[in-house]
Amino acid sequence: MSIFVDETTKVVYQGLTGSQGRYYGLLNREYGTQVVAGTNPKKAGTDIEGIPVFASVADAVQATGATASCIFIPAPGVRDAVMEAAEGGVTFVAVITEGVPAHDEAWFYNKLRRDFPQVRLLGPNCPGIISPGKCNIGITAGHITKEAVPGAKNVGIVSRSGTLTYQALYELKAQNIGVTTCVGIGGDPVPGTSFIDCLRAFEADPETHAVMMIGEIGGSAEEEAAEFIAASMTKPVSAYIAGQTAPAGKKMGHAGAIVSGGKGTAAAKMEALAAAGVKVGRNPTEAGELMVEIVKKL
C-alpha cells in the first residue's frame, strides 16, 4: 500500500499555466499520475497539452473529480490558493512554493485544522510526495525510486530536507529496496504535515515494514518524533539529522533550520532518536546502510 496518495488520486495543478507548474505537471502526468486539471481564472477553457484549465479548484473538482491539489502559485498568493483548494473540495493539498510568509503559514494551517479537518496539507516549501509506480505529486524525480514489491520488505521515507529526500530514495534503490511512499514534509517553521503524522500512517500501513527519517537542525519536531517512536512505533526506524556542524544562531538553508538558545541542535536530536531505539547515521549514506541492515533482519 501507500500513504496519503495512490494510483486513484486525481490532481489539479494550481499554477499549471506557469513555467514551473507546467513543467512538473506534465512530468508527473508522464510518470503516470492522474493530472486531470489546472486552474487559472484568466485562461479557463484552454488546455495545457490536453489537460483542461478551469477558473477555480471548485470548477475543476466538479468537472473531473479531482481529490488533490498541487500548488505552484508564487508565495504571495499561496494563502488564497490553499483556501481555494480546501473550499473547492479536495482533501490533499501539496504546496511546493518556497518563501511563503510564516504568518501566512500559521494562518492557513490553523484555519484548515479548525474549518477543514478533512484536508491534509503538505508543505509549504517541500518536494511533494511520491508513491513509486503509483503517483508523484511535486518535484521528486521518479526515476530514482524503486516501487514497493508486494510480499517484500518495503520502506517508507519521511524527510524535512528536499535534496536529502532524493538521496534517501536513491540509496534504497541502489540496494534494491522498494519504497511504499516518500513524503517530503518541508523545512519551514509551520509544516502542514509532521513527522508524527507520517510515522503514524506508516505504522498503520501493512506494506511498510520500516521507516527512514531525515531531519535537520532547528525546532523540536525530531525530538517529538522520538517520543512518538518510543511510545507507539513497532516498526524499526533509521535516521539522519542534517546540520551537525552548523554554528548556533545561524540560519542554515531552510527557514526552520536555526539553532537558538541551545535548542534544536543536531546532537540533541540524534541523542533523543537513539534513546528511542532509532538507528542514527552520521551521514545520509550511513543512514541508508543502517536501513539495509534493518531490512535484512526483518
The answer to whether position 44 is within a domain reads yes
The answer to whether position 49 is within a domain reads yes
Same domain, yes or no, for 216 and 275?
A: yes
Same domain, yes or no, for 151 and 18?
A: no
Same domain, yes or no, for 34 and 97?
A: yes
| Domain end residue (candidates: 67, 89, 122) | 122
Same domain, yes or no, for 151 and 96?
A: no
Pairing of strands 51-54, 34-39: parallel
Whole-angstrom distance, CA of residue 208 vs CA of residue 152 = 9
Share the mean pLDDT of the chain: 93
Amino acid occupying residue 291: M
Residues of the chain with pLDDT > 70, as a percent, come to 94
Nine-digit cell string for 129: 510526495
- Which residue segment(s) compose the domain that 55 sits in? 10-122
- What is the per-residue pLDDT for 249? 58
- What is the per-residue pLDDT for 269? 94
Same domain, yes or no, for 105 and 222?
A: no
- What is the per-residue pLDDT for 130? 98
The answer to whether position 32 is within a domain reads yes
- What is the per-residue pLDDT for 246? 64
- What is the per-residue pLDDT for 148? 96
The answer to whether position 262 is within a domain reads yes
Would you please indicate which residues are annotated as catalytic (active-site) residues? 254
Cβ atoms of residues 238 and 215 within 8 Å: no
Secondary structure of residue 39 in the 3-state scheme: strand
CATH code, domain with 74: 3.40.50.720
- Is residue 277 scored above 70 in pLDDT? yes
Phi-psi group of 89: left, alpha or beta (phi > 0 → left; psi -120 to 50 → alpha; rest → beta): left
Same domain, yes or no, for 156 and 70?
A: no
Same domain, yes or no, for 105 and 194?
A: no
> CB neighbours of 42 closer than 8 A, spacing ≥ 6?
none
Angle at 159 between CA 153 and CA 165, to 5 degrees: 80
* pTM recorded for the entire structure: 0.95
Same domain, yes or no, for 109 and 198?
A: no
Higher pLDDT, 189 or 30: 30
- What is the per-residue pLDDT for 161? 87
Q: Looking at residues 200-220, what average pLDDT do you find?
A: 95
Same domain, yes or no, for 65 and 159?
A: no
Residue 157's beta-bridge partner residues? Answer: 182, 212
How many structural domains does the chain have? 2
- What is the per-residue pLDDT for 169? 95
pLDDT in tens, 216-263: 988 899 999 999 999 999 999 999 998 776 666 555 555 455 555 555
- Is residue 42 scored above 60 in pLDDT? yes
The answer to whether position 222 is within a domain reads yes
Residue 184 vs residues 19, 130, 206: alpha-carbon distances, Å: 22, 9, 21
- What is the per-residue pLDDT for 147? 97
Same domain, yes or no, for 105 and 154?
A: no
- What is the per-residue pLDDT for 163? 87
Q: Looking at residues 136-165, what average pLDDT do you find?
A: 95
Q: Looking at residues 176-202, what average pLDDT do you find?
A: 96
- Is residue 140 scored above 70 in pLDDT? yes
Instruction: Determine which of 88-92, 126-130, 217-221, 261-265 has the lowest per-residue pLDDT on average.
Output: 261-265
Same domain, yes or no, for 103 and 148?
A: no
Q: What is the length of the chain?
A: 298
Residue 210 vs residues 57, 147, 249, 294: alpha-carbon distances, Å: 36, 15, 34, 8
> CB neighbours of 296 closer than 8 A, spacing ≥ 6?
none
Confidence of residue 64 (pLDDT cuts 50, 70, 90): very high
| Domain end residue (candidates: 122, 156, 188) | 122
Burial class for 245, CB neighbours closer than 10 Å (0-12, 13-18, 19+): exposed
